[in-house]
Amino acid sequence: MDKVDLRKLASELNLSVATVSKALRDSYEIKEETKQRVRLLADKLNYQPNLFASNLRQGKSRTIAVVIPEIASNFFALVTDGIQAVAEKKRYHVLTYATRGNYENEMSTIKHLENGRVDGLLISLSCETQGHQHLNRLKEAGIEIVFFDRVSQLSDCPTVTTDDYTSAYKATEHLIQNKCKRIAFLSLPDHISINQNRKQGYIDALKSKNKVVDNRLIIPCVNEPEKDYLIVRDVLSRKNPPDGIFAVVEKLAIATYNACNDLKIKIPRQLKIITFSNLPTASLVNPSMSTITQPAFEMGMEACALLFRRIEKKYLSNKTEHIVLKSNLIARKSTAK
């Protein structure tokens, strides 16, 4: 079975390649009867246009890239799912890249996107990301960028985030109300905006209750499972250990649960825990875990829809959209009095 291309269709139909191409693109220039003949044969021979040829010619790709720190996380998996759902409807293809929280990876990935391979980029920054030259160059190359969750404050790109400051404030308040005196904030590396917002919410909530903000209770983790576990266990083994943990991501909460099991610390009696999380088993763990749950799937959909708005009508892009979605605080047993 030879390859079916426009030339083949054209010769079988005694038409020119130009006419066949236009017919398949439903051009007003072509009469209905011809269009039908063309479509019929194209279907019969299962013609599939060569995307590289048409992308090259048209200068667009109907493809977007998604760059995330990791795939195997409930949050990012749900976001990606939401992105796919929207992209699929638009008949766009989705290239996914995991940076593993590594800045070098992120830079080289983005550099490889500069050749027009994609029309747009949805990105959640890796933990280590600091500079923005690589993203600026991409923008200059005419590729639309939308940040989600872990956004950059330095660029004027559109963003989709959740109300991290407010959620963190409420979560801290919740711990205080349930009698926590020494609340440890388990954080990711510091230059992530999301982390800064959450930390600020935590700090402001403490201040508003006239609690002293103790720097030793802001625990920077490193985003490596084993090391994070050791850091957490270390904190819980201190002479004057915390009686409340506010974890900025779910894997730190899991590390805390594991450390408590190993150290025989009772949750919530000796230690209360709340965390940002999209774990489907939050209500099933022992004890059930209080969470702030982000609308991850929705975030993916919103971010992708926003990206398409930008791709499809660039001329309107003088204003920069910032969408903020609400997270949900669900109190369970891990923070019970």
Q: Are 110 and 67 in contact (CB under 8 A)?
A: yes
- For residue 65, give the nearest of 9, 1, 148, 7 by alpha carbon: 148
Instruction: Say how many C-beta atoms besides its own lie within 10 A of residue 289's C-beta.
Output: 27
Number of residues that bind DNA (CB under 7 A): 29
Binders of DNA in range 199-258 (CB under 7 A): none
Using CA atoms, how far residue 49 sits from 13, 25, 29, 124, 269, in Å, is 17, 11, 20, 33, 64
Residue 43 partner contact from a second copy, DNA, none using kind-dependent CB cut-offs of 5 to 8 Å? none
Q: In the stretch 244-273, what mask flags binding to a second copy with x, by CB under 8 A?
A: -------x--x--xx--x------------
Using CA atoms, how far residue 231 sits from 102, 164, 218, 251, in Å, is 20, 24, 12, 13
By CB under 8 A, name the one of 30, 78, 157, 236 that touches a second copy.
78
By CB under 8 A, name the one of 26, 32, 33, 140 that touches a second copy.
140
Residue whose CB is less far from DNA, 19 or 197: 19
Residue 312 partner contact from DNA, a second copy, none using kind-dependent CB cut-offs of 5 to 8 Å? none
**What phi and psi, each to the nearest 5 degrees, are found at residue 231?**
-60, -45
By CB under 7 A, name the one of 18, 40, 71, 141 that touches DNA.
18
| Minimum CB distance to DNA, residue 118 (Å) | 15
User: Is 212 one of the binding residues for a second copy (CB under 8 A)?
Assistant: no
| Minimum CB distance to DNA, residue 36 (Å) | 11
Length of the chain: 337
User: Is 25 one of the binding residues for DNA (CB under 7 A)?
Assistant: yes
User: Is 17 one of the binding residues for DNA (CB under 7 A)?
Assistant: yes
Residue whose CB is less far from a second copy, 18 or 71: 71
Q: Are 13 and 42 in contact (CB under 8 A)?
A: no
**Structure-token pair, residue 66:** 């998604």
| Minimum CB distance to DNA, residue 314 (Å) | 16
By CB under 8 A, name the one of 84, 155, 196, 200 that touches a second copy.
84
| Minimum CB distance to a second copy, residue 20 (Å) | 16
By CB under 8 A, name the one of 13, 24, 74, 230 that touches a second copy.
74
Residue whose CB is less far from DNA, 32 or 156: 32
DSSP 138: H
Tell me the residue type at 145. I
Residue whose CB is less far from a second copy, 44 or 207: 44
Binders of DNA in range 52-111 (CB under 7 A): 53-54, 56-59
Q: Are 271 and 243 in contact (CB under 8 A)?
A: yes
- What is the phi-psi region of residue 303: left when phi exceeds 0, alpha when psi lies from -120 to 50, beta otherwise? alpha
**Residue 313, burial from CB neighbour count under 10 angstroms (0-12, 13-18, 19+):** exposed
Residue whose CB is less far from a second copy, 47 or 202: 47
Residue 46 partner contact from DNA, a second copy, none using kind-dependent CB cut-offs of 5 to 8 Å? a second copy
**Structure-token pair, residue 233:** 């266990």
Residue 268 preceded by cis peptide, ω within 30: yes
Q: Are 246 and 175 in contact (CB under 8 A)?
A: yes
- 258, HSE (Cβ side, Cα atoms, 13 Å): 15
By CB under 8 A, name the one of 31, 33, 43, 72 that touches a second copy.
72
| Minimum CB distance to DNA, residue 35 (Å) | 8
Using CA atoms, how far residue 72 sits from 32, 80, 148, in Å, is 50, 11, 17
Residues binding a second copy (CB under 8 A): 1, 46, 48-53, 55-56, 61, 63, 70-74, 77-78, 80-81, 84, 88, 93-98, 105, 111-112, 114-117, 137, 140, 251, 254, 257-258, 261, 279-281, 283-288, 297
